[in-house]
């Protein structure tokens, strides 16, 4: 019963998100059908058509891939596990989970689905001991170069002065011509001669 509810909930979330979530819709680039089933009778198919997702109970003969668990209990454990992808891959290798179709579709579908589950979405975290202000007592203070703010380059720093003269922004501000500037090009918006005369 638990696995049946999990599969139904996933279908409901995908159906709503495929209409409202631009990020999810961007992933729905092709029409496919994915089916999850168990040997003890639980099955649900997810149909992706035209960037919309719908689901229905039972298997689908036209499914791109069908994943079959030994039991509903196993399916529930795998779906709610933190390392679900690893468990699915191990199940494929040990043949405890049967796959018909492309394994990459299963991985894609699972990752897309888990991105919609609130408690599985990554939450922003503040890094511990973040260095946000100068602290001379910090262990890393000696590795951080701190120099006083200046308004002009040191005249004795010849290399810096030389490099500054190569900056296009600096040269143009000093009155130098802009290299590669187009000349005699047609204006994008042309004004009729009589309008120009009236303005002058």
Segment 99-156, tens digit of pLDDT: 888 888 888 888 888 777 655 556 677 777 777 788 888 888 888 888 888 888 888 8
Which range among 7-16, 87-96, 174-183 shows the weakest confidence by mean pLDDT?
174-183
> Where exactly are the structural domains of the chain?
2-120
Q: Provide the token pair at 20.
A: 């409202």
* 89 pLDDT higher than 90: no
Q: Which CATH class is domain 2-120?
A: alpha beta
Distance, in Å, from the CA atom of 150 to the CA atom of 87, rounded to the nearest integer, reads 58
Residue from 6, 71, 95 nearest 44 by CA: 6
Q: What is the pTM of this model?
A: 0.57
Confidence of residue 45 (pLDDT cuts 50, 70, 90): very high
């Amino acid at each position: 019963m638990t696995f049946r509810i999990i599969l139904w909930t996933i279908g409901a979330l995908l159906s709503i998100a495929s209409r409202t979530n631009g990020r999810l819709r961007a992933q729905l680039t092709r029409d496919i059908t994915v089916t999850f089933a168990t040997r003890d009778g639980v099955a649900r198919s997810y149909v992706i058509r035209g960037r919309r997702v719908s689901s229905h109970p039972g298997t689908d003969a036209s499914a791109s891939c069908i994943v079959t668990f030994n039991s509903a209990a196993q399916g529930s454990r795998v779906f709610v596990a933190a390392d679900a992808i690893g468990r699915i891959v191990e199940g494929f290798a040990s043949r405890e989970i049967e796959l018909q179709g492309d394994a990459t579709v299963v991985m894609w579908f699972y990752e897309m689905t888990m991105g919609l589950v609130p408690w599985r979405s990554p939450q922003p975290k503040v890094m511990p001991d973040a260095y946000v202000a100068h602290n001379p007592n910090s262990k890393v203070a000696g590795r951080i170069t701190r120099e006083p703010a200046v308004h002009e380059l040191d005249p004795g720093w010849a290399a810096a002065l030389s490099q500054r003269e190569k900056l296009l922004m600096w040269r143009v501000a000093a009155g130098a011509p802009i290299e590669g500037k187009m000349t005699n090009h047609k204006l994008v918006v042309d004004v009729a001669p009589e309008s120009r005369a009236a303005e002058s």
